[in-house]
Each structure stands twice: as structure tokens, then as C-alpha cells.
């Protein structure tokens, strides 16, 4: 109590000094006299404290469950180890793995500096797992479900899906109903014991293949309108044409190449772009996009498209939608939504890195593919699920490459950070949540399009597509694009999007304390289909 009284006395003294200072310079503060400036200072402090207190009370940091693979295997086969030093048989060296674990457990910079690496490729920013956020909740505030176990039915179905995805990279989405490989993939996934992808009538169909089950995602064309519609830019419309990697080019299908890259080396191979840009019609197209995008790009572009629809597309509760004298700008206006998307993406990165490095350490699919190859080719007993080992996709892959490795779209394979959750998906969940809050999720997309039969351009889409559904689809497209590349699993995407949504909601709740307007809050539909209202001040006593 005595300490609190001392702090209170110091604050009173500071305010008194501030009052005297403001009195001297009052003539230079326009409408603000000295008393108002003192009040502003105290109110600013209260806003920060109230926001932080509300976040702290809202956070229920519980023990985060993992799948147990880190402790289950002495050889660490079920955990991330890329770029560490490996044995000739592909298994990580104990000393190298333990040097990484020591750094992650201690959090000391010098321990990170002495992690034992392989052939020189660096780990991707593991210390970011210890970073804090000053807006929204803390990175550690949101537990997510444990990743599937290495030998589980779910993991088997996710890997089988990725093998089929590698075979389908160059098949246009609108040909899934007639393409023989797509139909074989659908039949195989329907036979899986625990496939978590969306279904229609409890069956995987061409309309559900390579989609997520969030609201609206399986409706309409595979690709979101926010990746097809032109982007307003300084009075002109920019068509969403992108250069894609050359079809039929895959990497790390040779064991020697895989071992080199997994150990942190490089084959020297490079992706080659096609000679002309195209719209996104195939898995390779979207896989290229998510290899070269910057984190918030798809959601900034979507914001620009939505802003181009005008006031009618704003959330019904926006205080400036029908204001008689004012427009939103710094608050509840165009600059505000752009800033919020970027802020949400930054917070999403930190939360993703916390989960990746300090909780789950999930192995990348390329290494899972190495275990598959080793079990089949070298009779290793890794106890991988028979749903995967018996998948017809493996026979097709072997027929093409002579191994059972998972073909990668990128010559470097996966990034050098753990797989779960997918950062693109966490960012996606955060980005679309900001946009669903700011805009009317039931606004009808004007002039929707779909790929034409020859996949050279667009035809009109006959049907109704809503903003909220197409935003869900946008984040799903971006997340599953990383799966098409072979660097993530389905659960990385689905759980990542859910995590991103939580982060954005916390950020929107923070904003309520900073803004002056009377605001009823943003109402929108969450990824679980439930309606929520956020962004209202909560009184903290």
C-alpha cells in the first residue's frame, strides 16, 4: 500500500509540473488550454492502462497441448530439424537438435548464436517466438489444438492429400470434375479413415477438393473474387495477372537432393517463370503467388477492392456510414482499415512464431515424405499409417520419379521454420477478420467472374457471392496454396486461420479504447459460423 501511495504522489507531482509548463506555453496550443493538456495526458495514460487491463483479463493462458512427437521419438523423426546437422541416413544429429532445444528453452541470445547447423542455411528467426505485441493480446495468449501425431490417421490423410496435390498442380480447378487424376484423388480421400476436409453429403466431391470448410468457401469458383477482380490504383484498374512457374517442374524428388537441402545445403536449382502472366487457374499458379507475395498483400488488395465499392459496402455499424457532417478517415476510414490489416498481420506473425518454435516444432511435409520413402524403399519401421502407404498417389509419384519423396514446388523446399501453424494462414485469418469487421459481409460482390472453359480469361459467374464468404475463400486459397507447394499440411492452414481470427478480434477490441467516436461495435460471422460483436469499450474497474 505504501508503494502505491508513493507512485500516486509522484503522478500528482508530474501532473502539477505539467500544469505549470502548459500554463507558460498555453498561447501556442490553440484550443487546448493548460488544464485540457493535463487532462489529455492523464486520459492517454488511462486509455493505455484500460486496454492492457482488459486484454490481461480476457487472456486465459492455459497449458498448450502438443501431439507428443517431440518426446515420443528418440531419433526426433517427428519434429522439425531442417537446416540442423544431420547424419548420412537423414536423421538429425543429437548434438545439433539439443543445441536448438537448449536455445528455445533458455531464450538466451547467446544460445541461439551457438545452434549447430548443417551446410550453412540459417534458421528463420526463432527468437521472434519471444517477441511481444503492444496491440491486441499477447502472442502466447491463444492456445490451438495439437497437431496430428506422426502416425495418426489424420496425418496420413493430410500427407496423401499433399501427394495428390503434387500430381494436380497443373490441372485447372474447373477441370476437377472430369480430370482422371482429380477423380482418383477424390476416391482415395473418401476412403481415408480420418480425412478432415469439407464434404457434401459426407462425401469429398470436385466442388470440395482442396478447399476448407469455413462458411462460403465451397460455394462458387475455387478462387476468391478478391484474387480475380481488378484492384483500384490511382484512378486505374490493375488486372490480377501474375507470372507463374513453368508447369511440370518439381524439386527434391531425388534422395541425394533432399538430404542436401534438409541439411541446410542448396542444389543450385532455380524456379523458372513462364514468359507471360496469367490469372490464377491452377495449384501451381497459386503456389507461385504465395511464394512471392508479401504478408499482407492479398488483404490490402482486397481492402482496396472493397473500398472501391463505396459507402454501401461498409459495415452497418460504421459511425460514418450515414453521418450528416463527417467522413471517416484516420478512424473508421480507408487509412484506418489499411493500417489495421498491417497491424493484424504483424501480430499474427508473432503468434505463429510462438506456436511454431516454442510449442509444436512440427516436421515439414518434405521430411514426412522422406520417412515414407525410407519405410517403403528401405523397410524402415516408422509405423506410418497404412492409409498413406497404400494410397494410389504414391504409386503414381514413384512412376514419375522413382522415389516416394513428396515433390516440392520450390527448389529450397520448405522454409527453415517449423510447419504448425502456417504463417500464411494465421495472417489470412487475421487479415480477413479485420475486413469482415470493417465491411458488410452480406454485401453482394458486383459482376463476379469465373474462368472460361479454356482457362484463358473470364466468363460472368451466374450466381450470388457475398463479401464475407469470398473473404473466407481468399484466406483459404492463400493457405492451401502453400499446401499445393508441398510445404504445409491441411491442419496447418485450418488451425492457423482460427488463430489469426482470435488475434484480429483482440486487436479490434483494443481499438475501442483508442478512438473517440460512439461506436456500437463490429458485428460479423466468425469462421465457426457464429455471429460476434467486437470493438466495444469494456469498463474495467
Domain ranges (residues) in the chain: 2-58, 145-534
Indicate the pairing of strand 449-451 with strand 458-460: antiparallel
Residue 13 corresponds to which cell in the numbers above? 507531482
Report DSSP letters for 342-385, one per residue: HHHHHHHHHHHHHHIIIII-BPPHHHHHHHHHHHHHS-------
Q: Which residues contact 63 (CB under 8 A, 6 or more apart)?
A: 143
Q: What is the mean pLDDT of residues 430-443?
A: 97
Percent of the residues in the chain that have a pLDDT greater than 90, as a whole number: 81
Find, among 507, 535, 518, 494, the residue nearest to 144 by Cα. 494
Other C-beta atoms lying within 10 Å of the C-beta of residue 93: 17
Sign of the dihedral defined by the CA atoms of residues 214, 216, 222, 228, in that order: negative
Inform me whether the pLDDT recorded for 446 exceeds 90. yes
How far apart CA 290 and CA 121 sit, in angstroms, is: 21
**pLDDT bracket for residue 135 (50, 70, 90):** confident
The pLDDT value recorded for residue 29 is 54
Find, among 226, 189, 229, 231, the residue nearest to 210 by Cα. 189
Residue 109 corresponds to which cell in the numbers above? 541470445
Burial of 19 (0-12, 13-18, 19+ CB in 10 A): middle
Q: Give this prediction's pTM.
A: 0.92
Q: Assign domain 145-534 to its CATH architecture.
A: Orthogonal Bundle (1.10)
Q: What is the mean pLDDT of residues 81-99?
A: 98
How far apart CA 83 and CA 122 sit, in angstroms, is: 7
Q: Kindly report which listed range (4-8, 31-35, 156-160, 161-165) carries the lowest average pLDDT score.
A: 4-8
Kindly report, residue by residue over 374-408, the tens digit of the pLDDT.
999 999 999 999 999 999 999 999 999 999 999 99
Residue 250 corresponds to which cell in the numbers above? 518439381
Q: Kindly report which listed range (313-327, 432-446, 461-475) carries the lowest average pLDDT score.
A: 313-327
Inform me whether the pLDDT recorded for 79 exceeds 60. yes
Name the one residue in this structure whose C-alpha cell is 473500398.
Answer: 307
Inform me whether the pLDDT recorded for 41 exceeds 90. no
How far apart CA 73 and CA 70 sit, in angstroms, is: 6
How far apart CA 467 and CA 459 sit, in angstroms, is: 20
How far apart CA 232 and CA 97 sit, in angstroms, is: 49
The pLDDT value recorded for residue 22 is 46
How far apart CA 409 and CA 252 sit, in angstroms, is: 9
Other C-beta atoms lying within 10 Å of the C-beta of residue 393: 25
Could you check whether the bond before residue 139 is cis, i.e. omega within 30 degrees of 0? no
**pLDDT bracket for residue 99 (50, 70, 90):** very high
Q: Kindly report which listed range (112-116, 137-141, 188-192, 419-423) carries the lowest average pLDDT score.
A: 137-141
Inform me whether the pLDDT recorded for 455 exceeds 60. yes
Judge whether 522 and 314 are in contact, CB under 8 Å.
no
Other C-beta atoms lying within 10 Å of the C-beta of residue 508: 22
DSSP state of 225: G
Amino acid at each position: 500500500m505504501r508503494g502505491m501511495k508513493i507512485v500516486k504522489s509522484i503522478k500528482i507531482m508530474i501532473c502539477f509540473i505539467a500544469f505549470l509548463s502548459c500554463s507558460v506555453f498555453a498561447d501556442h496550443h490553440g484550443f487546448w488550454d493548460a488544464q485540457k493538456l493535463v487532462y489529455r495526458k492523464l486520459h492517454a495514460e488511462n486509455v493505455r492502462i484500460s486496454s492492457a487491463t482488459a486484454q490481461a483479463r480476457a487472456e486465459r493462458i492455459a497449458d498448450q497441448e502438443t501431439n507428443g512427437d517431440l518426446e515420443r521419438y528418440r531419433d526426433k523423426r517427428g519434429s522439425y530439424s531442417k537446416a540442423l546437422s544431420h547424419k548420412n541416413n537423414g536423421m538429425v544429429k543429437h548434438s545439433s537438435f539439443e543445441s536448438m532445444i537448449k536455445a528455445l528453452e533458455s531464450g538466451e541470445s547467446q544460445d541461439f548464436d551457438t545452434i549447430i547447423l548443417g551446410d550453412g542455411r540459417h534458421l528463420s528467426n526463432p527468437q521472434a517466438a519471444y517477441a511481444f505485441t503492444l496491440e491486441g493480446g499477447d502472442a502466447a495468449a491463444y492456445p490451438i489444438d495439437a497437431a496430428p501425431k506422426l502416425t495418426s490417421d489424420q496425418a496420413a490423410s493430410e500427407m496423401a492429400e499433399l501427394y495428390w496435390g503434387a500430381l494436380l498442380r497443373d490441372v485447372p480447378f474447373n477441370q476437377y470434375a472430369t480430370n482422371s487424376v482429380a477423380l482418383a484423388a477424390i476416391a482415395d480421400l473418401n476412403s481415408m479413415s480420418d480425412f478432415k476436409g469439407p464434404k457434401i453429403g459426407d462425401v469429398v466431391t470436385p466442388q470440395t477438393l482442396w478447399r476448407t470448410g469455413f462458411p462460403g468457401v465451397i460455394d462458387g469458383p475455387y478462387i476468391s473474387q478478391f484474387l480475380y477482380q481488378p484492384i483500384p490504383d490511382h484512378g486505374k484498374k490493375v488486372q490480377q495477372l501474375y507470372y507463374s512457374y513453368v508447369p511440370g517442374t518439381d524439386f527434391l524428388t531425388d534422395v541425394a537432393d533432399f538430404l542436401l537441402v534438409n541439411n541446410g545445403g542448396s542444389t543450385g536449382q532455380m524456379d523458372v517463370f513462364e514468359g507471360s502472366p496469367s490469372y490464377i487457374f491452377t495449384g501451381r499458379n497459386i503456389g507461385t503467388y504465395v511464394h512471392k507475395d508479401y504478408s499482407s498483400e492479398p488483404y490490402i488488395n482486397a481492402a482496396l477492392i472493397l473500398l472501391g465499392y463505396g459507402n454501401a459496402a461498409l459495415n452497418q455499424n460504421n459511425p460514418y456510414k450515414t453521418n450528416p457532417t463527417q467522413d471517416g478517415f484516420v478512424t473508421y476510414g480507408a487509412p484506418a482499415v489499411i493500417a489495421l490489416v498491417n497491424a493484424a498481420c504483424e501480430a499474427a506473425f508473432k503468434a505463429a512464431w510462438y506456436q511454431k518454435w516454442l510449442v509444436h516444432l512440427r516436421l515439414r511435409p518434405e521430411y514426412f515424405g522422406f520417412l515414407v520413402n525410407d519405410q517403403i524403399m528401405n523397410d524402415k519401421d516408422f509405423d506410418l499409417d497404412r492409409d498413406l502407404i497404400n494410397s494410389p498417389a504414391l504409386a503414381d509419384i514413384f512412376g514419375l520419379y522413382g522415389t516416394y519423396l513428396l515433390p516440392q514446388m520450390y527448389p529450397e523446399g520448405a522454409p527453415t521454420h517449423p510447419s504448425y501453424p502456417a504463417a500464411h494462414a494465421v495472417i489470412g485469418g487475421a487479415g480477413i477478420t479485420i475486413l469482415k469487421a470493417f465491411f458488410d459481409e452480406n454485401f453482394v460482390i458486383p459482376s463476379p467472374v469465373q474462368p472460361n472453359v479454356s482457362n484463358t480469361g473470364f466468363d460472368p459467374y451466374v450466381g450470388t457471392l457475398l463479401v464475407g464468404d469470398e473473404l473466407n475463400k481468399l484466406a483459404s486459397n492463400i493457405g492451401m496454396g502453400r499446401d499445393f507447394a508441398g510445404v504445409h499440411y491441411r491442419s496447418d492452414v485450418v488451425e492457423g486461420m482460427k488463430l489469426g481470427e482470435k488475434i484480429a478480434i483482440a486487436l479490434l477490441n483494443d481499438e475501442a479504447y483508442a478512438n473517440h467516436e460512439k461506436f456500437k461495435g463490429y458485428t460479423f460471422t466468425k469462421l465457426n459460423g457464429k455471429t460476434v460483436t467486437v470493438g466495444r469499450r469494456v469498463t474495467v474497474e
